[in-house]
């Protein structure tokens, strides 16, 4: 498998990304007034959903979430932290968003390379890399009975940075240029694009000459 960090560093970064994604899920659960079980479920789903989907699609079973205890326990620790300290966590939301962007960049690259390593084509690998990065957030919103942020026009770009990162990876694979430096550059590019989208509120365009009478929410 293409890896741009050593296995131990990669594992640590995976856990950091999982932890931050889990915090975003747990915070939404608190805002929805879920009980402690609901908070834990939303944290787990947000953190692990994208990776589970990827592993099941490519046949990497049992998924890493069920073979590495750290992957399963880390979201529970995040849920516990939010359960007791959610007012303080809310106050550092900007910092959480920065780490979330880092996780997005890391997971879109790792997901793409793992999918390709298991025999998928370039386009399919990029699509699965995107799913790895954003899948947990989609499941989180669905379970919380919200329109997924991925589909809302009034949210800053999220999927697009992941798409750019995944595309950079498959282009490098196509031309046999996927080095540790190129992989890291793809992850950093997705990370920076997400930060810029949050800073300048970049959003995807809606339908051309839109004349809809549907009430905007």
What pLDDT is recorded for position 171? 97
Report yes or no on 147 lying in a domain.
Answer: yes
What percent of the chain is modeled with pLDDT above 70? 94
Report yes or no on 211 lying in a domain.
Answer: no
Q: What's the total number of domains in the chain? A: 1
Report yes or no on 23 lying in a domain.
Answer: yes
What pLDDT is recorded for position 2? 55
For residue 72, name the pLDDT band (cuts at 50, 70, 90): very high
**Distance from C-alpha of 90 to C-alpha of 154, rounded to nearest angstrom:** 21
What is the DSSP code string of the chain? ---SS-HHHHHHHHHHHHHHHHHHHHHHHHHTT--HHHHHHHHHHHHHHHHHHHHHHHT--S-HHHH-HHHHHHHHHHHHHHHHHHHHHHHTHHHHHHHHHHHHHHHHHHHHHHHHHTT--HHHHHHHHHHHHHHHHHHHHHHTTS--GGG-TTS---HHHHHHHHHHHHHHHHTT---HHHHHHHHHHHHHHHHHHHHHT-----STT----SPP-
Report yes or no on 2 lying in a domain.
Answer: no
pLDDT per residue as tens digits for the range 51-61: 999 999 999 99
Report yes or no on 196 lying in a domain.
Answer: yes
The structure's pTM equals 0.88
Omega before 196 within 30 of 0, i.e. cis: no
Token couple for 55: 């592993």
Report yes or no on 215 lying in a domain.
Answer: no
Phi-psi region of 182 (alpha: psi -120 to 50; beta: other; left: phi over 0): alpha
**Residue 192 sits in which domain range?**
7-200
More confident residue, 154 or 127: 127
Average pLDDT for residues 107-127, to the nearest whole number?
A: 94
pLDDT per residue as tens digits for the range 181-201: 999 899 999 999 999 999 999
Report yes or no on 216 lying in a domain.
Answer: no
Residue 212 has pLDDT above 70, yes or no: no
- Round the CA-based radius of gyration of the chain to a whole number and report it: 17
Say if residue 213 is exposed, middle or buried (CB neighbours under 10 Å; 0-12, 13-18, 19+). exposed
């Amino acid at each position: 498998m293409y890896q741009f960090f050593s296995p131990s560093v990669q594992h640590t970064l995976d856990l950091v990304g999982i932890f931050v994604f889990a915090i975003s899920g747990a915070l939404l659960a608190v805002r929805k007034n879920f009980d402690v079980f609901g908070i834990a479920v939303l944290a787990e789903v947000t953190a692990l959903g994208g990776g589970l989907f990827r592993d099941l699609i490519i046949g990497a079973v049992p998924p890493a979430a069920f073979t590495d205890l750290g992957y399963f326990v880390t979201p529970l620790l995040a849920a516990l932290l939010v359960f007791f300290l959610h007012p303080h966590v809310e106050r550092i939301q900007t910092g959480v968003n920065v780490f979330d962007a880092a996780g997005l960049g890391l997971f879109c690259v790792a997901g793409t390379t793992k999918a390709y390593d298991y025999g998928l084509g370039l386009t399919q690998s990029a699509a699965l890399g995107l799913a790895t990065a954003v899948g947990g957030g989609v499941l989180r919103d669905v379970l919380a009975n919200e329109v997924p942020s991925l589909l809302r026009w009034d949210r800053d770009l999220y999927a697009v940075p992941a798409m750019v990162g995944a595309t950079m990876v498959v282009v490098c694979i196509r031309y046999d240029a996927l080095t540790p430096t190129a992989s890291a550059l793809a992850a950093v590019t997705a990370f920076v694009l997400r930060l810029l989208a949050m800073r300048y509120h970049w959003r995807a365009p809606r339908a051309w000459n839109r004349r809809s009478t549907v009430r905007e929410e």
